[in-house]
Amino acid sequence: MGNLEQASQSTPVRIEPDLEFIGTLRRYGGESYKKCFQCGTCSATCGLSPDREAFPRKEMAWAAWGMKDRLLKDPDIWLCHQCNDCSLRCPRGARPGDVLAAVRQVALAHYAVPSFLGAWVRRPAFLPLLLAIPALLLGLAILAQESLGSALGISPETRGIVYPYSPWLPHWLLNSFFGFFGLLAVLALAAGVRRLWRALRAGGMETGAAPPAKGLGPAIVSALRRIVMHDQFSECTTMTARSISHVFVFTGFLALCVVTFWVITAQYNPLIRSDFVYPFSFWSPLKILANLGGALLLFGGVWMVWERLERREKAGTSTYFDWVFLLGLALVALTGFMSEGMHYLRLVPHRHVAYFIHLVLAFAVLVYLPYSKFAHLLYRAVAMVYAEYSGRTADPPAAPAADKGDGQ
């Protein structure tokens, strides 16, 4: 029996709707929640809805009632692929997929650390400021590189290693710049994940969830297998091709992360030599991996944009939050290839500008990751681990056999 049904049989609870939350859902594209009349078609349609959970029916009820706290403690909002099977089959046009996407936006802002960045990323008025910040910081770092190099004890030999796309950008400067702000982003994301995990645990206790079904280690292994295989997409029937574009973006992003991490750390490892130390030759394995990762990221991002433009009914409502994320990914990959092409074509004045723009966009994707749609990669993973840990995906316990002597 689902939580919704259990609540109806327990002591009545007075609900105080969060009207501000309801207004936020409407701004984020989830205004269709008010059309839901709890028929349960969405739960019957969704392949992720277990026998004991009326998903996403219960989330639609909580959204209509303005139960923000309950939704923010619900792991199920992160499990949705937004394949929109439920939205297309809803007889009332309530579009549960869009409502859950709006709830996730609220959740990302709620768990953001610091919270003001979570709010800025969702407001178009702040986009110029969010891009101006990395441009200004990087510009100041370039102007002050001599002073910074002396303060950090960078040797003259190390200062002479520059990125071929622009001699203005020493290797150590970009490594230090992105390493420092990347570390801040990781710490911010870790703080948000910690808050989410605590909320999921608290929500489980409030609803009287059963004790953990398996250990945390096995739950992590099981969730990672599902993430790598993307096998749950096979249960969707509407946007089955979305799994391919997701795999392209996911794989491309991981490849670029591996190369970036290697570039930053390889120079400090005395065991690494030749083509595995920056600067790479064109046929270096790491150069090939970087280009392949960029191509996957660009193709996957463009594919997602095309899906939202050409298949709007099936893709669901696209908000500013979605467009900034998708176009940001595509532009990072595109400006990276532009910088590389201008370098090989010896377009000296142009490559400096293209590379600077590429770095600003890469900074925005990296440092604002804890507040953008990219954060759902980790938040969803945490929810998947909790779902395995709490036994959400397990079969319900069998009913005890009736005594043959009863009722006779």
Largest alpha-carbon pair distance within the chain? 95
Bigger pLDDT: 245 vs 200: 200
Bigger pLDDT: 236 vs 100: 100
Q: What span, in angstroms and rounded, lies between the C-alpha atoms of 351 and 402?
A: 78
pLDDT at 1: 43
What is the length of the chain? 408
Tell me the pLDDT band of 7, cut-offs 50, 70 and 90.
Answer: very low
Classify residue 360 as exposed, middle or buried by CB count within 10 Å of its CB (0-12, 13-18, 19+). Answer: buried
- pLDDT of 210 over the 60 cut: no
Most confident of 2-11, 203-212, 328-337: 328-337
pLDDT tens digits, one per residue of 119-158: 999 899 999 999 999 999 998 988 888 788 777 777 666 6
pLDDT at 296: 94
Asked if residues 296 and 248 have their Cβ atoms less than 8 Å apart, the reply is yes
pLDDT tens digits, one per residue of 339-397: 888 878 888 777 888 888 999 999 998 899 899 888 888 899 999 898 888 877 644 44
Asked if residues 311 and 238 have their Cβ atoms less than 8 Å apart, the reply is no
pLDDT tens digits, one per residue of 238-250: 766 677 888 888 8
pLDDT tens digits, one per residue of 290-343: 899 999 999 988 888 888 887 766 666 778 888 888 888 889 999 989 988 887
With helix as H, strand as E and coil as C, how does the chain read? CCHHHHHHHCCCCCCCCCHHHHHHHHHCCCHHHHHCCCCCHHHHHCCCCCCCCCCCHHHHHHHHCCCHHHHHCCCHHHHCCCCCHHHHHCCCCCCHHHHHHHHHHHHHHHHCCCHHHHHHCCCHHHHHHHHHHHHHHHHHHHHCHHHHHHHHCCCHHHHCCECCCCCCCEHHHHHHHHHHHHHHHHHHHHHHHHHHHHHHHHHHHHCCCCCCCCCHHHHHHHHHHHHHHCHHHHHCCCCCCHHHHHHHHHHHHHHHHHHHHHHHHHCCCCCCCHHHCCCCCCCCHHHHHHHHHHHHHHHHHHHHHHHHHHCHHHHCCCCHHHHHHHHHHHHHHHHHHHHHHHHHCCCHHHHHHHHHHHHHHHHHHHHCHHHCHHHHHHHHHHHHHHHHHHCCCCCCCCCCCCCCCCCC
pLDDT tens digits, one per residue of 107-125: 999 999 999 999 999 899 9
Q: What span, in angstroms and rounded, lies between the C-alpha atoms of 300 and 290?
A: 15
What domains, with CATH codes, occur in the chain? 3-111 (1.10.1060), 115-390 (no CATH)
Percent of the chain exceeding pLDDT 90 equals 31
> For 77-99, what is the mean pLDDT?
89
Residue 201: which of 396, 383, 393 has the closest Cα? 383
pLDDT at 347: 80
